[in-house]
């Protein structure tokens, strides 16, 4: 009997604890605003714990100063000058100049909103939780004694970084502007590139505590409606305390979270994002970060640069082929070296094999361990160079690589050919920034397979990678498009970049079937001077 009672008490205590833990923030504040000013002020002070940066300014206004009101705002994120000029001054002084002020009902929020408040970004709120959300977002809250509604007037003022060239996507030719941490400025940068009435912006607030603004931007007539709806569903199902960077959103909405390959692309350049939106993709902007997400993503676009389309096709095609070769070298370079030196010496020319053998004569480690040590040292130096201050980081990267490499060779711990292989791998890994993460992981996987089974292990690893890539989808779009499935029209912009006048269609796998996929006239091929026309000279 006592055991049953103890179990029941324990069950009830655990149930109450669970209910308290799962109570959504703001549920206790979902009450209507009281018409009594003092009750509202006491409730707000209690909820905000009388925080020192919250200002509550009570004042009398009206034609005979008989009306009482209060203005509530947070000092650190609001513009005090704008509040004084456009809210307090009209209420306390300009109202005395109105000829018909005697007959006005100043207890009515609509009357004040239409006659005295000149700031256009304002809204009425009737619930206490809506009032608090607006206050924490940077609005000034106007409460009037006798009114069951309040006025939330947006007057946010947060210092942000000026628009400058992004450090991660520097270009030789093209715009130098990059996104900043303010989502409204980022939307303005996109609208500056795409001046079209079909450009739609949808706003969501995600994060129970951070209340982060997340916007999706797309061309309504071009983007696939199914993709847009899928993005809405995935964003709405995110239930978390905070969204501090777009990487949070990326990990919550990606198709295959256990894949080493990214299925959501990102960029800091407005021209690149605008070009993808024009193709039919959807951009996801997060307040507080300059990195904008773009979906759907295909594997080939990791090797495409926005600068490819600003240069002539011959140079752009050569550079693109170099990127493909760089990715192959960065992922397979050490593995192929280990496979050849350990398992397939007969494939190495005799003179080169003699040189490799002489270099490895005093090395006490097997080739696979030697490669692991060098790759680990490279990744360590790269991470240290990124985290340290820029002048110190550059010094560590250069001096560390030179001193460590030279000392290791002189001490007989590393062979000279291994230093060359790892150096080439390191340089090649920076040529395709979008696939740096996947390349790093695959590099170690292929190295292990090469050390175990030689060339056979590397081939098996490549086949498994290709099968995995072929199975990936990004919001319904095949990841290996236009190769798998094969699309001959899409091949014009894969391994080489054909002239712009031949790229007259949008990507077939991204736009929707019922839309005209032509983005330009198909007869734009330049032609020589026609003698039948009048000579301009």
pLDDT of residue 31: 86
% pLDDT > 70, the chain: 88
pLDDT of residue 510: 85
Span 71-89, pLDDT tens digits: 999 988 888 888 888 888 8
Span 22-36, pLDDT tens digits: 444 344 457 889 899
Given CA atoms 311, 314, 315, 319 in this order, what sign does their dihedral have?
A: positive
Helix (H, G, I), strand (E, B) or coil at 276: helix
pLDDT of residue 102: 57
Which residue's structure tokens are 């970084």? Answer: 161
Confidence of residue 5 (pLDDT cuts 50, 70, 90): low
Q: Decide: 224 and 510 in contact? Cβ < 8 Å.
A: yes
516 vs 325: which has the higher pLDDT: 325
Average pLDDT across the chain, whole number = 85
Quote the DSSP letter at residue 34: P
pLDDT of residue 394: 67
Answer whether the bond into residue 429 is a cis peptide, omega within 30°. no
Q: Report the range out of 9-18, 62-71, 409-418, 488-497 with the highest average pLDDT.
A: 488-497
192 vs 9: which has the higher pLDDT: 192
Residue 491 has pLDDT above 60, yes or no: yes
102 vs 337: which has the higher pLDDT: 337
The closest of 325, 300, 262, 328 to 494, measured between CA atoms, is 300
How much is the average pLDDT of 282-293?
A: 96
Residue 1 has pLDDT above 70, yes or no: no
Q: Decide: 295 and 264 in contact? Cβ < 8 Å.
A: yes
Residue 361 has pLDDT above 50, yes or no: yes
pLDDT of residue 530: 58
User: What pTM was computed for the model?
Assistant: 0.85
Alpha carbon 473 to chain centroid, angstroms: 19
* DSSP letters spanning 187-255: HHHHHHH---TTEEEEEEEE-TTT-EEEEEEEETTTS-HHHHHHHHHHHHT---S---SHHHHHHHH-S
Which residue's structure tokens are 């005799």? Answer: 350
Contacts (Cβ under 8 Å, ≥6 apart) of 190: 199, 217, 270, 273, 274, 277, 283
How much is the average pLDDT of 471-497?
A: 91
Given CA atoms 215, 304, 272, 488 in this order, what sign does their dihedral have?
A: negative
pLDDT of residue 479: 96
Confidence of residue 2 (pLDDT cuts 50, 70, 90): very low
For the record, the structure tokens of 196 come out as: 């079209």
**Cβ neighbours of 5 (radius 10 Å):** 9
The closest of 242, 299, 527, 307 to 434, measured between CA atoms, is 299
pLDDT of residue 103: 62
For the record, the structure tokens of 151 come out as: 């006025």
Span 415-471, pLDDT tens digits: 888 888 988 998 999 899 999 999 999 999 999 999 999 999 999 999 999 999 999
How much is the average pLDDT of 52-65?
A: 85
Confidence of residue 19 (pLDDT cuts 50, 70, 90): very low
pLDDT of residue 4: 45
pLDDT of residue 170: 84
Span 182-235, pLDDT tens digits: 999 999 999 999 999 999 999 999 999 999 999 999 999 899 999 999 999 999
The closest of 355, 407, 341 to 377, measured between CA atoms, is 407
How much is the average pLDDT of 378-396?
A: 75
How much is the average pLDDT of 298-321?
A: 93
The answer for 265, left when phi > 0, alpha when psi is -120 to 50, beta otherwise, is beta
Long-range contacts of residues 361-369, Cβ cutoff 8 Å, at least 24 apart: 362/412, 363/412, 363/413, 363/414, 363/415, 364/412, 364/413, 365/413, 366/342, 366/451, 367/337, 367/338, 367/341, 367/342, 367/418, 367/451, 368/338, 368/342, 368/447, 368/448, 368/450, 368/451
% pLDDT > 90, the chain: 50
Confidence of residue 254 (pLDDT cuts 50, 70, 90): very high
Contacts (Cβ under 8 Å, ≥6 apart) of 126: 32, 33, 148, 149, 150
Answer whether the bond into residue 378 is a cis peptide, omega within 30°. no
Helix axes 225-236, 246-253, angle to 10 degrees: 110
Contacts (Cβ under 8 Å, ≥6 apart) of 452: none
**Per-domain residue ranges of the chain:** 28-154, 183-297, 313-478
Residue 489 has pLDDT above 90, yes or no: no
Q: Decide: 421 and 341 in contact? Cβ < 8 Å.
A: no
Confidence of residue 128 (pLDDT cuts 50, 70, 90): very high
């Amino acid at each position: 009997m006592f055991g049953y009672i103890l179990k029941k008490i324990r069950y009830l205590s655990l149930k109450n604890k669970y209910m308290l833990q799962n109570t959504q923030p703001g549920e206790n504040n979902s009450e209507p605003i009281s018409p009594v000013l003092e009750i509202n002020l006491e409730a707000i002070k209690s909820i905000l714990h009388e925080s020192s940066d919250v200002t509550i300014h009570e004042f009398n206004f009206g034609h005979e100063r008989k009306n009482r009101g209060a203005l509530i705002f947070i000092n650190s994120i609001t513009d005090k000058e704008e509040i004084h000029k456009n809210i307090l001054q009209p209420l306390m002084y300009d109202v005395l100049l109105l000829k018909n002020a005697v007959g006005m009902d100043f207890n009515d929020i609509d009357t004040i909103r239409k006659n005295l408040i000149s700031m256009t970004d304002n809204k009425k709120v009737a619930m206490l939780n809506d009032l608090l959300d607006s206050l924490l977002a940077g609005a000034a809250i106007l409460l009037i004694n006798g009114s069951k509604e309040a006025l939330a007037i947006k007057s946010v003022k947060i210092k942000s970084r000026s628009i400058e060239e992004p450090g991660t996507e520097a270009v030789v030719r093209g715009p130098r502007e990059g996104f900043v941490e303010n989502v409204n400025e980022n939307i303005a940068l996109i609208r500056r590139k795409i001046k079209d009435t079909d450009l739609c912006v949808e706003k969501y607030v995600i994060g129970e505590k951070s209340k982060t603004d997340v916007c999706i931007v797309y061309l309504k007539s071009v983007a696939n409606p199914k993709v847009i709806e899928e993005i809405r569903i995935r964003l709405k199902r995110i239930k978390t305390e905070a969204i501090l960077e777009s990487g949070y959103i990326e990990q919550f909405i990606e198709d295959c979270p256990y894949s080493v390959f990214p299925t959501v692309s990102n960029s800091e350049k407005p021209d690149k994002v605008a070009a993808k939106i024009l193709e039919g993709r959807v951009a996801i902007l997060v307040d507080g970060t300059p990195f904008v997400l773009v979906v759907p993503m295909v594997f080939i676009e990791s090797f495409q640069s926005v600068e490819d389309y600003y240069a002539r096709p011959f140079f752009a095609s050569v550079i693109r082929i170099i990127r493909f070769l760089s990715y192959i070298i960065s992922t397979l370079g050490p593995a192929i070296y280990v496979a050849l030196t350990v398992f397939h010496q007969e494939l190495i020319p005799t003179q080169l094999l003699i040189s490799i053998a002489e270099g490895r004569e005093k090395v006490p480690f097997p080739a696979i361990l030697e490669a692991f040590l060098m790759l680990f040292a490279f990744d360590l130096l790269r991470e240290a160079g990124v985290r340290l201050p820029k002048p110190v980081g550059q010094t560590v990267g250069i001096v560390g690589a030179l001193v460590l490499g030279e000392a290791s060779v002189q001490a007989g711990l590393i062979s000279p050919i291994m230093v060359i292989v790892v150096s080439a791998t390191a340089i090649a890994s920076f040529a395709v920034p979008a696939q740096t993460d996947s390349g790093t992981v695959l590099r170690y996987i292929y190295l292990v397979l090469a050390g175990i089974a030689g060339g056979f292990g590397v081939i098996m690893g490549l086949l498994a990678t290709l099968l995995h890539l072929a199975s990936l989808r990004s919001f319904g779009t095949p990841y290996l498009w236009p190769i798998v499935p094969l699309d001959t029209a899409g091949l014009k912009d894969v391994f080489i970049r054909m002239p712009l006048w031949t790229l007259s269609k949008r990507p077939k796998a991204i736009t929707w079937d019922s839309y005209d996929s032509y983005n330009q006239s198909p007869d734009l091929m330049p032609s020589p001077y026609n003698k039948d026309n009048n000579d301009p000279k």
